[in-house]
Amino acid sequence: MERPRPPDEEPLSKAEREALLGAMSPGDWARAESLARAAAYGLTDMTAEDLLQETLTDLLGENRTWRRGVHPLVTLKVAMHSIASNALKRVENAPIDQFATVSTGEEEMPEGQPPPVHAVEGRSPQDSVEGRQQLALIEQLVKGDDHAELVLMAWAMGYSGAEAQRETGLDAKQFDAARQRLLRKLRPAAALRNLK
Amino acid sequence: MTAPQKPQDDLSVLLDALLAELMGMTDEQVLDTEGPSAVQARGLSMLSTAKQEAAKRRLAAAKAGLAVARAVPRSVHAGRPSAAEAKAFLREAANSGQYTMAARQLNELSDEAALALFDKYVRLGVIPHRTGDDSS
């Protein structure tokens, strides 16, 4: 016979989920949107808004576990990453990418947009999985802004806050400014895809 | 300095670091040029849409589950079905839209594989497991 779980191991109920999400501050909604922009970056069939909407729906539908005591933003981040990974796999497994523009090899890299597709794919299948493709696209976004590139690199290595600042070698003011530029750069790209 | 833990995948590491970074920023910094009330209103509107959509999906899943349950022959409830019954059930389940199964995959299933898949559905609780004395 299955033993009942201790109360603190029970996943959150629908009502508890609703209450926690409904109590999120404006700052936390802004944080959730930032996470959605990064997680959805490079996806052709899902905008950041779609991703956040789908994640909220999944969580309220109790299709995803929400462990007791876990902050809503942590739960949102894990669920958004999972949904974005599935969306990426769906696109990669599809026979045709309807949004892809095949490169002639002569055009300039369009700013703030995913790069054109090359007739011969230089990335290995291993690179395509595991989110490297999305990270490479975000790298393109800040290309030419040395400080923002350093911040992104530090985050990609898993550093954040003071550690990330130390890793970049930037002073606090430079780091804050570069971080803000990087976060802003993700906005127009997400807005652009909303128009599709 | 302690090195970050072994990464799961590149995007996951980036999202972890980004979340930590965002949590360390003030609300004013994360809101940037946006007004707090506008951002919150947008979030709450998405939440309201999500509530309705989740309810709609729950209802659709319940309806599909009912259709699948009706499609299960009584002999299936009473014990292990024949390969033909298992295949008929799997075909019905795939058509219900609740479970994804390629038609090609279903047609190519051997009797043994169809029975194994059926058993898996029982283990997952898709098909209620019952004994021979089904009196309902």
What is the least distance, in Å, from the CA of A163 to any CA of chain B?
8
Residue A36 has pLDDT above 70, yes or no: yes
Residue B18 contacts A where some CB pair is shorter than 8 Å: yes
pLDDT of residue A170: 95
Measure the CA dihedral A106/A107/A113/A114, to 10°. Answer: -10
Residue A174: both structure tokens together? 């430079």
Sign of CA dihedral B26, B29, B34, B39: negative
For every residue of chain A, DSSP letters joined together read -PPPPPGGGSPPPHHHHHHHHHT--HHHHHHHHHHHHHHHTT-SS--HHHHHHHHHHHHHTT-S---TT--HHHHHHHHHHHHHHHHHHHHHHSS--TT--B--S-SPPPTTSPPPBPSS--S-HHHHTTTHHHHHHHHHHTTT-HHHHHHHHHHHTT--HHHHHHHHT--HHHHHHHHHHHHHHHHHHHHHHHT-
The confidence score (pLDDT) of residue A135 equals 86
Nearest CA-CA distance, residue B43 and chain A, Å: 6
Q: A117 - beta bridge partners?
A: A102
Q: Which residue has the higher pLDDT, B13 or B113?
A: B13
pLDDT score of B6: 47
Per-residue pLDDT for A105 more than 60?
Answer: no
Region B76-105 average pLDDT: 69
Residues 31..60 of B with a Cβ closer than 8 Å to A: which? Answer: 31-32, 34, 36-37, 39-40, 42-44, 46-47, 49-51, 53-54, 57-58
Residue of chain B whose alpha carbon sits nearest to that of A126: B9
pLDDT tens, position by position, A45-96: 899 999 999 999 999 999 998 999 999 999 999 999 999 988 888 766 665 5
Separation of alpha carbons A1 and B1, rounded Å: 48
**pLDDT given at position A194:** 47
Place of tokens 């970049």: A168
ipTM attached to this prediction: 0.76
- Enter the pTM of the model: 0.67
Across the interface, of B14, B22, B23, the residue whose CB is closest to A156 is: B14
Helix (H, G, I), strand (E, B) or coil at B78: coil
Distance CA B61, CA A112 (A): 40
**Residues A78, A80, A86, A89, CA torsion sign:** negative
Å from B9 to nearest chain A CA?
A: 5
Identify which has the larger pLDDT, B116 or A160.
A160
Nearest CA in chain B to A64: B54
* pLDDT above 80 for A112: no
Q: What is the spatial distance between Cα A149 and Cα A170, in angstroms, rounded to a whole number?
A: 12
Contact A57 B54 (CB under 8 A): yes
Check CB contact under 8 Å for B15 and A157: no
Do B12 and A81 count as a contact with CB atoms less than 8 A apart?
A: yes
Does the distance separating the beta carbons of A81 and B11 come in below 8 Å?
Answer: yes
Under the banding of pLDDT at 50, 70 and 90, the label for residue A127 is very low
- A34 lies within 8 A of chain B by CB: yes
User: pLDDT at position B90, please?
Assistant: 78
Mean pLDDT for B84-105 is 69
Q: Does an H or E element contain B75, and which?
A: helix B74-77
